[in-house]
């Protein structure tokens, strides 16, 4: 398995050039802000922060650029089936714990998840490249909220 170099350490212009994307000031601000946000920010959360630096920006523009980042491979999209677009800045292999109540998505390292079967061939000759596991449950904060 190949590990790609961490995107975070590379200059934005270089990153854009590599992915065939024009590096605009707006995109750079957007990317820098997302880098500083922990976890898997939603476009609305990103918008709230970007607005402070670029007051004229609209939520639609933020959406459009995040989609473009995903489309060009600058960012990775976290699985779609949790209702809202969430993107990934953590470029090393990991899995996710998803809270079914507040939809918080937290990274979990492979070693913390336990031993997984070695990638090989599955039914029908399907060749496994990697696993991306969603552990669905209730996060600690939501458990506390329920009992108080
Ligand atoms: Zn929760
Ligand atoms: Zn993640």
* Alpha carbon of 132 to ligand 2 centroid (Å): 10
Spatial separation of the C-alpha atoms in residues 107 and 91, rounded to whole Å: 11
- A 10 A CB-CB count for 27 gives 19
Distance linking the first and last C-alpha atoms of the chain: 45
What is the pLDDT, as a whole number, of residue 1? 40
Residue 89 confidence (pLDDT) above 80: no
Nearest ligand (C-alpha, residue 77): 2
* Alpha carbon of 105 to ligand 1 centroid (Å): 9
Residue 141 confidence (pLDDT) above 50: yes
* Alpha carbon of 21 to ligand 2 centroid (Å): 23
pLDDT in tens, 28-80: 999 999 988 877 888 899 999 999 999 999 999 999 999 999 899 888 887 65
Nearest ligand (C-alpha, residue 98): 1
Residue bearing the bigger pLDDT, 109 or 65 = 65
What is the pLDDT, as a whole number, of residue 3? 44
Strand, coil or helix: 127:
strand
CA torsion sign for 95, 97, 98, 104 is negative
Spatial separation of the C-alpha atoms in residues 126 and 57, rounded to whole Å: 45
Task: List the beta bridge partners of residue 127.
Answer: 121
Q: What's the whole-model pTM score?
A: 0.68
pLDDT in tens, 113-138: 887 767 677 778 888 777 788 889 99
Domains and CATH numbers, the chain: 12-86 (1.10.10.10), 92-146 (3.30.1490.190)
pLDDT band at 5 (very low <50, low <70, confident <90, very high): very low
CA 48 to chain centre: 17
């Amino acid at each position: 398995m190949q590990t790609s170099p961490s995107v975070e350490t590379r200059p934005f212009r270089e990153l854009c050039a590599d992915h065939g994307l024009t590096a605009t000031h707006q995109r750079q601000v957007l990317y820098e802000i997302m880098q500083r946000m922990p976890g898997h920010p939603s476009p609305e959360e990103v918008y709230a922060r970007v607005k402070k630096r670029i007051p004229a920006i609209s939520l639609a523009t933020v959406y459009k650029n995040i989609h473009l980042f995903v489309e060009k491979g600058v960012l990775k999209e976290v699985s779609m089936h949790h209702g809202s677009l969430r993107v990934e800045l953590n470029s090393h292999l990991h899995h996710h714990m998803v809270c079914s109540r507040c939809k918080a998505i937290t990274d979990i390292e492979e070693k913390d998840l336990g031993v997984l079967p070695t990638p090989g061939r599955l039914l029908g000759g399907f060749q496994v490249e990697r696993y991306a596991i969603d552990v669905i449950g209730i996060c600690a904060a939501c458990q506390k909220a329920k009992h108080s």
